[in-house]
Amino acid sequence: MSRFASSRLALLTPYAPGEQPQDKKYVKLNTNEAFFRPCPGVFAQVGEIAERLRLYCDPEAKALTRAVAESLGVREENVLMTNGSDEALAFAFMAFCDGDTGVRFPDVTYGFYPVFAALFGVKARQIPLGGDFRIRPEDYCGGSGTVVIANPNAQTGIALSRTEVEKIIKANPGNVVIVDEAYVDFGAESCLPLIDKYDNLLIVRTMSKSGALAGARIGCCLGCRELIADVKTVKYSFNPYNVGTMAQAAGAAAAADAAYYAEKTGQVRENRAELCKGLEALGMEYLPSLANFVLARAKGVPGEKLYSMLKERGVLVRHFGGRIEDFVRITVGSREEVAFLLACLKEILS
C-alpha cells in the first residue's frame, strides 16, 4: 500500500476473479462462461462498428435499452444498462445501502457482495444458509437493511421460487431487495413480473452467462421507474459512458435473438442433467442446481485436491474456501467438455 492510500483500502480484501490462464488451453469450466458462441447478429454488428469508435458511445444506450426492454416485456424506464452486472450491483450498493442500516446477504453467495460492502463502508450481515445449503426466506423477513439475494444463488446453484422471493420482498417494505438474476435463464423463476407490483424490488441481470457475452461486459438493473432513476443518478455521477459502443451493439443484437438463446440455454440444461448423472454414477454428491454450474464433492478427496488434480489433467474448475471448501464448482460445458471432465474424475476417483 502506498503512503497515499485512503484508510478504506486497509480494510479491503478485493474480489478474486476466477483464473483466466493464458499459458495453455484448458477445458475451462471455472467461471460460468457459455460454451456456445454469441448469436450470429453479434458477429455482424461488431465487425461494422470500428468506424463509430472515434465518437463517444450513447450514454443512454438507447438502442440496447430498447432491445432489452422489448425482449423482457418491460418499459424502457424500467431498465438501466451497465458495464457488466458487477457495475449494476455497485450502483445499487451506492444508491440503496447506508452505512449503519447496512446490507444483508447469505454467507455462501457471490463473493463481490462483501467486497462492495467494505468498499462503500456499508455494514454487512451475512446470514447462514440452512444445513441443506438453501436460503431460508424467513431469515430475511423483517429487520432492517438492504437485502441482496442471488437467485439461483451463486456457488450453490439452488434457486428459490418466485413465491419465496416475493415473501421476502413483501416482508421488507422499508428496504430495497436486490435480486441478482445472473443465472436465471438456466431454469429458475424470474421476479421480473413483480417489478410493477413492488417499489422495493431491484433485479440485476447480466449477458455474461446465458448471453455468451462475458467479455463484452453488459448487465442491467430492472425495477420501478423511481428505483431506476436512483441508480441512474449514481451512474451519471460516476461514469456516464459506462457501456461502450461495441458492447451496446453486441448486446442489442443478442437481445433481439431470443430463439437462438432459448435453444442454447436448453442445451445447457441438457448438459447439466448429463453432468449430474455422471457425478452420481461416480458416487459424488452435488447440489440441485438451476444455474450453468454444479457444486459437487467427492468423499475422501478434499475440494482443493480435486481442483488441482483436475487442473493437472487440463480441466479448470473453481474451488472456494469457507463452508463450501469440500466442493468444487463446475461450469456446465459442451457435451464433449462434460464427457472429458467426467472421464478425468473417474480416473481421479478410481
Ligand X SMILES: Cc1ncc(COP(=O)(O)O)c(C=O)c1O
CB of 181 to ligand X, least distance (A): 8
Q: Which is nearer to ligand X, 81 or 345 (CB)?
A: 81
At closest approach, how far in Å is the CB of 109 from ligand X? 7
Q: What is the 3-state secondary structure (H, E, C) of 224-287?
A: CHHHHHHHHHHHCCCCCCCCCHHHHHHHHHHHCCHHHHHHHHHHHHHHHHHHHHHHHHCCCEEC
CA 286, 288, 291, 292 torsion: positive or negative? positive
* DSSP-derived secondary structure letter, 301: B
To ligand X, the closest distance from the beta carbon of 75 in angstroms equals 22
Q: Which is nearer to ligand X, 85 or 200 (CB)?
A: 85
CA distances from 312 to 24, 173, 303 (A): 12, 51, 14
Residue 140: partners with Cβ closer than 8 Å, 6 or more residues away: 104, 127, 147, 149, 168, 171, 172, 177
Amino acid identity, residue 76?
Answer: E
Nearer to ligand X (CB atom), residue 209 or residue 264: 209
CB of 204 to ligand X, least distance (A): 7
Q: Least distance (Å) from ligand X to the CB of residue 183?
A: 7
Which residue's CB is nearer to ligand X, number 251 or number 278?
251
Instruction: Give the whole-angstrom CA distance, residue 104 versus residue 125.
Output: 5
| DSSP three-state, residue 208 | coil
In Å, the largest CA–CA distance within the chain is 59
Site residues, ligand X (CB under 6 A)? 32, 84-86, 110, 150, 154, 180, 182, 206, 208, 214, 219
Asked if 47 contacts 252 with a C-beta cutoff of 8 angstroms, the reply is: no
**Residue among 176, 16, 158 at smallest CA distance from 104:** 176
CB nearer ligand X, residue 154 or residue 342: 154
Nearest Cα neighbor of 154 from 337, 16, 292 is: 292
CB of 208 to ligand X, least distance (A): 3
Q: Which is nearer to ligand X, 16 or 55 (CB)?
A: 16
Strands 285-286 and 103-106: unpaired
User: To the nearest whole angstrom, how small is the minimum distance from the Cβ of residue 214 to ligand X?
Assistant: 6
Nearer of residues 187 and 219 to ligand X, judged by Cβ: 219
d(CA 180, CA 193): 15
Nearer of residues 214 and 339 to ligand X, judged by Cβ:
214
Q: Name the minimum Å distance from CB 150 to ligand X.
A: 4
Rank residues 84 and 278 by Cβ distance to ligand X and give the closer one. 84
Q: Are strands 293-297 and 219-223 parallel, antiparallel or unpaired?
A: unpaired
CB of residue 281 vs ligand X: minimum separation in angstroms? 28
